[in-house]
Amino acid sequence: MIVLGIETSCDETGIALYHTKYGLLSHTLYSQTEIHNEYGGVVPELASRDHIRRVVPLIKQALKEANICLKEVDAIAYTQGPGLAGALLVGACIGSALSFALKIPVLNIHHLEGHLLSPLLSTPSPMFPFVALLVSGGHTQLIKVNGIGQYILLGETVDDAAGEAFDKTAKLLGLDYPGGRALAELAEQGQSGRFKLPRPMRHSGNFNFSFSGLKTAVSTLIKNHNITFQTCADIALAFQEAVIDILAEKSLSALMQSGLSQLVVAGGVGANIQLRKRLIRETTNIGATVFFPEFEFCTDNGAMIAFAGAMRLQQQKINYQHTMSSFTVRARWDLEIL
């Protein structure tokens, strides 16, 4: 069975084809980074318009790379939410239209479920149940995953997401948008120990996070120091170390308290090399295992949506008559309400 996945929740247009027997057949991705760079952040209207321009050519490209025709697709999966409403509507419209035209099922997928399941695209892959650290520009959550659609929220950020804090701190340091990767690269040239930043909610007694105060502490450092390249690098390193300390300690604590031995890391911040090294070391020390998606699947992508759609399709029988009465998008959507 072949599932076409469509991802348009924010500023990446992702298309993929997943075969339930042969795995990922193809995936294509277009990033809008250059469009939004001059504004220092995502402009929703521009994002929506660019999705409209890109989605059909990317579908054609994915079909060509997989060497199949559209009529061979058995189901459509699109991101219903959460995300930017206008951007989500692009994927919802074309996904539902294709379903209607081809008379095949259409599945509305939760964006975060796609991220949670993305490490299952890799080899080796985790087995259910596991604890997941979902860490991106819009979300920072610890989730117990018992199976497809079986998610228990253990903790989440009470303010900024970790990726959001990376981007905002990068902007304070004069780095271009999106700043997470640029900050991590700058941190490689920093001197550890020069600056000490707080670890918010480190001893909160729960699995919640907070990063807005960390960003404020960086702002104070910048105001109180003569800013040279080395100072910026040292601040970037201090910030990254603080974020990694918090993420690693909370994740390991959740893993041990749950009694599980598998940790899955998903989302854009999961591509951070130092975070990966730290979690590999820490999990090894306690006899656990950590799993990451491939770097290309850390960002938003169609492969994770196609895969999530395929997993859901295998779990339930979906008749075409139930697929096209109407469609909606959910800019906000609690993962536990699935």
pLDDT score, position 324 = 55
- 208 assigned ligand-binding residue: no
- 334 assigned ligand-binding residue: no
3-class DSSP assignment, residue 11: coil
Comparing C-alpha atoms, which of 241, 283, 254, 298 is closest to residue 121? Answer: 298
Residue 13 CB contacts under 8 Å (≥ 6 apart), including other chains: 7, 29, 30, 32, 50, 51, 54, 55, 58
pLDDT score, position 321 = 45
pLDDT score, position 137 = 85
More confident residue, 315 or 224: 224
Q: 2-116+298-337 and 127-292 share one CATH topology?
A: yes
Q: Which of 26-30, 67-71, 178-182, 229-233 has the lowest mean pLDDT?
A: 178-182
Banded model confidence at residue 138, pLDDT cuts 50, 70, 90: confident
pLDDT score, position 318 = 55
CA distance 337 to 110: 10
- 27 assigned ligand-binding residue: no
CA distance 217 to 33: 27
pLDDT at 319 over 70: no
Residues 135/267, Cβ–Cβ less than 8 Å:
yes
- 300 assigned ligand-binding residue: yes
pLDDT score, position 265 = 96
Residue 175 CB contacts under 8 Å (≥ 6 apart), including other chains: 182, 183, 186
Average pLDDT over residues 286-308: 96
Q: What percent of the chain has pLDDT over 70?
A: 97
Average pLDDT over residues 139-168: 95
Banded model confidence at residue 323, pLDDT cuts 50, 70, 90: low
pLDDT score, position 38 = 85
- 19 assigned ligand-binding residue: no
Average pLDDT over residues 239-249: 97
Q: Which of 171-180, 206-215, 253-262, 271-280 has the lowest mean pLDDT?
A: 171-180
The two tokens of residue 100 are: 């209607």
Comparing C-alpha atoms, which of 5, 51, 54 is closest to residue 25? Answer: 5
**Number of H-type helices and E-type strands within the chain:** 10, 10
pLDDT score, position 39 = 87
Residues 188-222: pLDDT tens digits? 999 999 999 999 999 999 999 999 999 999 999 99
- 134 assigned ligand-binding residue: yes
Mean pLDDT of the chain: 93
CA distance 165 to 183: 11
The model carries a pTM of: 0.93
Domain boundaries along the sequence of the chain: 2-116+298-337, 127-292
- 138 assigned ligand-binding residue: yes
Q: Which CATH class is domain 127-292?
A: alpha beta
Average pLDDT over residues 282-298: 95
pLDDT at 264 over 50: yes
CA distance 235 to 195: 7
Banded model confidence at residue 337, pLDDT cuts 50, 70, 90: low
3-class DSSP assignment, residue 325: coil
What single-letter DSSP state applies at residue 1?
-
The two tokens of residue 232 are: 């910026």
- 272 assigned ligand-binding residue: yes
The domain defined by 2-116+298-337 folds into Nucleotidyltransferase; domain 5 (3.30.420)
